[in-house]
Structure 1
C-alpha cells in the first residue's frame, strides 16, 4: 500500500480511536522511564536524548515522522512525549528491504504495544500527504540516502518539505565526514560532510534554523568507519534543524 494512503489514513484517525496505551509524559520523564529497554539506556550518555528532543521541539499532540528508525531508540521516546493525542510514523524506504526485512522487523518490535506508532514502508520517492507532520527526524542515516541507487536526495528533501506543516522542522543528525569531503564517504565510512547536507536541504526549499553541538567530538579525525570498535558511539556528529517557511 502506498505511503500516501497509509499516512493519509493514519492522520484521519480520530484521537478517540487511539487507545490510550501510551501515557503522555515530559521529555525528562520519558528518558528517565525505568521501563525503557536496557539497551536504550546504555546508549543515553552517547546519544543525549533529552537534548535531542528539546532541540527538535517535540511536544504533546505532535505528529513526528521518524525516518529510517533503526531499532526504535527515538521512536519509543517520541511515542511517550507526543502521547495518545499525537502520532509517530516509523518510516522505512522499500529500498532498504530488498535484501533483508530486518529493518522492518526492528521497527515493528519498537512499535509493539504503542497505539500511537505506525510503521510504514514504501518507495522512497512516493508522494507523501501534504502538510501533516510537525517534525520529520532522521538520525545517523541521512548519509544512507546517497547509498540507494537512483535516489535524488534533493528531490527527497522536497517531499519532506511537502509533508511538513508550515513552520514544521526537519532534523538531520549524522556522523560527520571531513570538511570539504562532500559525499565521498557515505558508503565506505558511513559519514557525510555537514556542509553537503546543509546545501542539499536548503536547495529543497528549507531555511536553516540552527544546530546543536552536544554530539560533537573534536577528537574524531573523520578517517575511520563509524563502526570501528575504537570509535563506535563516540563519532563526531552534527545535528541540524531546518524549518519549512510559513
Structure 2
C-alpha cells in the first residue's frame, strides 16, 4: 500500500485544483440548486448539513440539460434533487448492482429478494418521473445499453463504491462498473465520487469496503487504473469527528445508528461519516 499512498500524494500535490476553480456552475445554476433543495420536505433537508448537496453537485459541475448516471440511487435522495434540476432537456439514469452480485451479501439476499430486485429498474424509473421533468430510466451495471456509449456528461458514485470494492475479487464488480462508466461517458465527461473514508494510516483490512469505508488512495488508484484522470478533491463532506477504530463500521453512525443505546448516544455526537469528495474525468 506504500506505493498507492505515494501515488495518491503525488496526484493530490500536482493535480488538485481548488473547489472554486473546479466548479463549472454559474450563479444562475447554483441558485437553481438552492431553490430546488429548499423546496424539498423537511426530512430531506435534515440531511443537508452532512450531505451538502448544493456544494457537492456544484463541485462536480452538474448542469441543467446534462445526461447523468447515478449509481445506486437508493431511495432517490439525490435523484429528487437531480430530476427537477436537470430539467426537461436532461436525462437521469439510475444504475443498480449487477444481479449476480446480490447473492454475495448473504443473509437478506434470499432468492426471493433477488427475484424481486429484477423489478427495480422499472420501479425506480417510474417513481423518478414524479420527482421532476428530466427523462428517467434505469439499468444494472451488467445491462447498460450500447446506445449509451459516449452519451453521459457525468457519472455519480455517491456512497456507492464500498460494496463494489468489497466483492470485486469474487466477480470483478468494481472493475465492471468502472469499465461501463468509462464506456458511457463522453470524452471529457466527469465522475463524481463521495465515499465514506478511512484514514490512510489505518490498516488496509479496515478499508476493504466490508465496513463501508475505503481509503482515498485506493479510490484514486482504482479510478486511474480504469483510465480516468484525477482532477481534484474537496473537503465539502469531511467529518474529522469520525475516527473509526478496530471494530467500527459506518453503520454505527447516523442515519443507521446500530449498536447499544450507550453507543448510539455517543455516535450521535459524531454525526454522519467522514467522506472524501473526488472528481475524475475521462481522458
TM band (smaller chain)? 0.7 to 0.9
Partners of 1:104 and 1:244 in 2: CA distance = 29
Is residue 2:43 matched to residue 1:39?
yes
Is residue 2:150 matched to residue 1:134?
no
> In the alignment, which of 191, 204, 217 is matched to residue 195 of structure 1?
217
- Structure 1 gaps, min length 5: 1-24
Q: Is the 8 A contact 2:242 2:274 kept in 1?
A: yes
Bigger mean CA deviation after superposition, 153-162 or 115-124: 115-124
Bigger share in helix: 2
| 1:97-246 matched pairs, under 5 angstroms | 99=109, 100=113, 101=116, 104=120, 107-108=124-125, 110-113=127-130, 114-124=132-142, 128=146, 129-148=148-167, 149-179=170-200, 181-182=203-204, 184-223=206-245, 224-228=248-252, 229=257, 230=267, 233-245=271-283
Alpha-carbon deviation of 1:193?
A: 0.8
Alpha-carbon deviation of 1:177?
A: 1.5
Bigger mean CA deviation after superposition, 64-73 or 149-158: 149-158
Partners of 1:151 and 1:124 in 2: CA distance = 11
Q: Give the alignment's TM-score, normalised by structure 2.
A: 0.69
Cα pair distance change 1:117/1:42, threshold 3 Å = farther
Per-residue deviation, residues 109-135 of structure 1 (Å, max 9, x unmatched): 751424424241335476653111001
Of structures 1 and 2, the larger Rg is shown by 2
Aligned residue pairs, count: 219
Partners of 2:141 and 2:176 in 1: CA distance = 13
Cα pair distance change 1:117/1:40, threshold 3 Å = farther
- Structure 2 gaps, min length 5: 1-30, 104-108, 258-266
Q: Give the alignment's TM-score, normalised by structure 1.
A: 0.79
- Three-state SS of the structure 2 residue aligned to 1:26 is helix
